[in-house]
């Protein structure tokens, strides 16, 4: 149940009855200060102005037409014409009880869509780097969230598995195999790529063979195809291992690499030419876009086919958009990649639209993200300036979490301890990333992310176990608890109840904007509000049994919300820490 949208709809109806037109918007927001109520409608002034009415008088007319008696206990006109809304505790209590007994905490699917989420998308024969880490964990949180909201989510791992470099990679793989290289040597993808490139640059016979292999691969030669497949498999096995460690939901089934679109490219380029969109320039085929200007202020040219006949990253993305609309029947596509790819995505999609491959209603959204920086404020690198291997980063996370958890005097069994270390170590890396607004760069800092204070994974995981421990101290059965009445009297109870009911607003924002940090901020605030409720309102030592049960219900919904919220972020919880 989304309080904000219920209030928006009802107030809008009243505005229309009071004379406003259909396009009016009540602009309902959560209030920043308690004296302004729980929510406020900010859209009255603009609507009144349009009607030529005094805003406060118009606000009164809106109130006269407004039916909110069950939801609100008080409505008040404030300042130049705001409407402040104070929610009714009885209604809050009913909604909390309903959320507790429904599946999905009462969140129901509305206008179900098919959404393609293009994320992770590493490149074959290359080690995953920190940019892919960001794409992987942010994309996965959004995929989980949209699925939770009832949408049909198609995960598309747009793996870089095609291009001219494969000739050189196949030739090098052949050389390694002839020299009976061990499996181990093949596993080091960075070294493999580097060596292949070195041979290509330095050995003309090798280079000739490599060029020959590209042509053969592209014409479907069986041997080259099999060698190519081997390279893809080695890479994706390693990546799958990373995904599993990261608690990311991607599987082999989600791979939809660049090669998938390759057969579509000749006819797309042919069609762009026929439509007059692509024109020849010095042997290459180019689409000129008025919407983008080059250095001289002229329309920018985007190459869709090179002089030698090769296709480009842009051509593939045009095909991918077309395929996702036509074949996957998607309503919406979200691509999670680096901000530096924004112009590329916008250009590919503009060409897709100009060519008429997708309708206006088909939503193409680049969910871009900034860079991960080291403590020195420069792009995150190893001490020697190399790319940080994801696997090494995760090893370090586990090492650091081991030290941290061992420092704490806990009475955990070895198995429990291991589970805590894993949840905290991996969770810390993920949460540190997810809790930042994705569009800005952020500094990767082990000490901050592993702190038990602040908006971190360990803090959130600990907050969850604290509520669990309340329940471990009682033997109340859950049916009795669900049946018990909930009464909201104390201010702290009220604040907690409202926060709990705002879960859906946070989750829907994540689904719409692709911004998991909104959910992190929500959960962090919820944990803080619960702490202060728990401090002021005794639960197990409450004045009587009815109050105890009532408060336990608030605690139970908090526990479930934290667990569900962290699960949507792909962060594990443990029962004890
Ligand atoms: N493989 C690309 C990279 O490593 C990311 C692909 C993003 N998705 C897309 N449809 N272009 O940078």
pLDDT at residue number 110: 83
Query: Which of 120, 341, 349, when mutated, tests ligand 1's pocket best, judged by the most ligand atoms within 8 Å of its CB?
Result: 341
CA distances from 576 to 292, 418, 466 (A): 55, 12, 8
Question: In testing the pocket of ligand 1, which one of 136, 337, 346 has its CB within 8 Å of the most ligand atoms?
Answer: 337
User: 7 pLDDT band (50/70/90 cuts)?
Assistant: very high
Whether the per-residue pLDDT at 165 is higher than 90: the answer is: yes
| Residue 474 confidence (pLDDT) above 80 | yes
Nearest alpha-carbon partner for 259 in 326, 323, 351, 331: 323
pLDDT band at 386 (very low <50, low <70, confident <90, very high): confident
Nearest protein CA to atom 2 of ligand 1, as residue: 121
Query: Which whole number is the average pLDDT over 496-504?
Result: 97
Per-residue pLDDT reduced to its tens digit, 82-121:
999 999 999 999 999 999 999 899 898 888 999 999 999 9
Average pLDDT of span 151-176: 96
The pLDDT, as a whole number, for residue 384 is 84
The residue nearest atom 11 of ligand 1, judged by CA position, is 317
Q: What is the mean pLDDT of residues 466-470?
A: 96
Which of the four pLDDT bands, split at 50, 70 and 90, describes residue 430?
very high
pLDDT at 185: 76
Banded model confidence at residue 484, pLDDT cuts 50, 70, 90: very high
pLDDT in tens, 231-253: 999 999 999 999 999 999 999 99
- For residue 164, the CA-to-ligand 1 centroid distance in Å is 16
Query: Above 90 in pLDDT, residue 189?
Result: no
Instruction: Give 514-541 pLDDT, tens digit per residue.
Output: 999 999 999 999 999 999 999 999 999 9
Q: Which of 117, 119, 121 for mutating ligand 1's site (highest number of atoms within 8 Å of CB)?
A: 121
Kindly give the distance from the C-alpha atom of residue 341 to the centroid of ligand 1, in angstroms, as a whole number: 8
| 154 close to 116: Cβ distance less than 8 angstroms | yes
pTM of the predicted structure, to 2 decimals? 0.95
Give the model's pLDDT for residue 136.
98
pLDDT surpassing 80 at residue 45: yes
Measured between alpha carbons, how far is residue 523 from residues 3, 137, 349, 506, 568 in Å? 17, 18, 35, 9, 11
The rounded Å distance from CA 440 to ligand 1 centre is: 19
HSE of 294, CA atoms in CB hemisphere, 13 A: 9
At 338 the pLDDT is 95
pLDDT at 410 over 80: no
Give the Å distance between the CA of 318 and the centre of ligand 1.
13
Q: Is the CB–ligand 1 distance for residue 116 below 6 Å?
A: no
- Ligand 1 pocket, 120 CB below 6 A? no
What is the rounded distance in angstroms from the CA atom of residue 563 to the CA atom of residue 571? 9
CA distance 404 to 420: 11
What is the model's pLDDT at position 409? Answer: 73
CA atoms of 482 and 478, how far apart (whole Å): 6
Residue 230, class by beta-carbon neighbours within 10 Å (0-12 exposed, 13-18 middle, 19+ buried)? middle
**Confidence band (pLDDT; 50, 70, 90) for 180?**
confident
Is residue 158 within 8 Å of 258, Cβ to Cβ?
yes
How does the average pLDDT of the chain come out, rounded?
A: 95
Whether 163 lines ligand 1, by a CB cut-off of 6 Å, is no
Question: From the CA of 223, how far away is ligand 1's center (Å)?
Answer: 27
H-helix or E-strand containing 266? helix 265-274
Mean of the pLDDT values across residues 319-326? 98
C-beta of 335 in contact with ligand 1 (< 6 A) = yes
Q: Which atom of ligand 1 is nearest to the CA of 159?
A: 1
Give residue 282's pLDDT band: very low, low, confident or very high (50, 70, 90). very high
pLDDT category of residue 574 using cuts at 50, 70 and 90: very high
pLDDT in the model for residue 140: 98
Give the per-residue pLDDT at 69.
Answer: 81
* Three state DSSP letters for 510-567: HHHHCCHHHHHHHHHHHHHHHHHHHHHCCCCCCCCHHHHHHHHHHHHHHHHHHHHHHH
What spacing in Å lies between the alpha carbon of 122 and ligand 1's midpoint? 7
The minimum-distance atom of ligand 1 relative to the CA of 132 is 4
Average pLDDT over residues 316-328: 98
Q: What percent of the chain has pLDDT over 70?
A: 100
12-30 mean pLDDT: 96
């Amino acid at each position: 149940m989304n309080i904000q949208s219920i209030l928006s709809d009802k107030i809008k109806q009243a505005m229309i009855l009071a004379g406003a037109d259909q396009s009016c918007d009540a602009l309902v927001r959560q209030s920043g200060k308690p004296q302004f109520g729980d929510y406020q409608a900010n859209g009255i002034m603009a609507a009144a102005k349009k009607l030529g009415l005094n805003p406060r008088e118009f606000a009164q007319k809106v109130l006269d037409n407004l039916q909110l008696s069950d939801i609100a206990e008080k409505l008040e006109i404030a300042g130049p014409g705001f409407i402040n809304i104070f929610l009714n505790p009885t209604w809050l209590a009913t909604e909390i009880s309903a959320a507790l007994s429904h599946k999905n905490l009462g969140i129901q699917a509305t206008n179900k869509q098919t959404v393609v989420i293009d994320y992770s998308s590493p490149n074959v024969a290359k080690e995953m780097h920190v940019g892919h880490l960001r794409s992987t964990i942010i994309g996965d949180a959004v995929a989980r969230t949209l699925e939770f909201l009832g949408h049909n989510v198609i995960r598309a791992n747009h793996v870089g598995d095609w291009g001219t470099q494969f000739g050189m990679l196949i030739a090098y793989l052949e050389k390694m195999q002839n020299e009976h290289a061990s499996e181990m040597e093949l596993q080091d993808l960075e070294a493999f790529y580097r060596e292949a490139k070195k041979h290509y640059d330095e050995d003309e016979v090798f280079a000739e063979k490599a060029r020959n292999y590209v042509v053969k691969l592209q014409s479907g030669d069986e041997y080259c195809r099999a060698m190519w497949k081997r390279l893809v498999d080695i890479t994706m096995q390693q990546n799958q291992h990373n995904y599993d460690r990261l608690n990311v939901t991607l599987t082999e089934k989600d791979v939809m690499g660049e090669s998938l679109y390759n057969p579509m490219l000749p006819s797309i380029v042919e069609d762009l030419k026929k439509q007059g969109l692509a024109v020849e320039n010095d042997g290459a085929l180019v689409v000129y876009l008025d919407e983008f200007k080059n250095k001289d202020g002229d329309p920018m040219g985007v190459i869709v086919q090179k002089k030698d006949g090769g296709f480009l990253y842009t051509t593939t993305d045009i095909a991918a958009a077309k395929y996702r609309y036509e074949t996957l029947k998607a309503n919406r596509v979200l691509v999670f990649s680096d901000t530096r790819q924004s112009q590329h995505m916008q250009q590919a999609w503009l060409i897709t639209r100009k060519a008429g491959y997708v309708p206006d209603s088909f939503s193409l959204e680049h969910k871009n993200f900034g860079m991960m920086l080291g403590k020195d404020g420069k792009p995150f690198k190893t001490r020697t300036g190399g790319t940080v291997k994801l696997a090494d980063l995760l090893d370090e996370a586990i090492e650091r979490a081991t030290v941290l958890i061992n420092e704490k005097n806990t009475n955990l069994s070895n198995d429990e301890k291991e589970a805590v270390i894993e949840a905290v170590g991996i969770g810390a890396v993920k949460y540190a990333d997810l809790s930042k607004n994705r569009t800005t760069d952020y500094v990767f800092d082990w000490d901050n992310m592993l702190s038990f204070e602040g908006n971190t994974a360990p803090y959130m995981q600990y907050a969850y176990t604290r509520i669990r421990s309340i329940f471990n101290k009682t033997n109340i059965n859950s049916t009795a608890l669900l049946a018990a009445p909930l009464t909201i009297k104390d201010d702290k109870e009220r604040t907690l109840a409202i926060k709990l009911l705002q879960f859906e607003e946070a989750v829907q924002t994540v689904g719409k904007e692709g911004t998991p940090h909104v959910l992190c901020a929500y959960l962090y605030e919820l944990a803080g509000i619960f702490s202060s409720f728990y401090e002021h309102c005794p639960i197990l030592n409450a004045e009587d049994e009815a109050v105890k049960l009532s408060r336990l219900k608030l605690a139970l919904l908090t526990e479930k919300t934290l667990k569900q919220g962290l699960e949507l972020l792909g962060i594990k919880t443990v029962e004890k820490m």
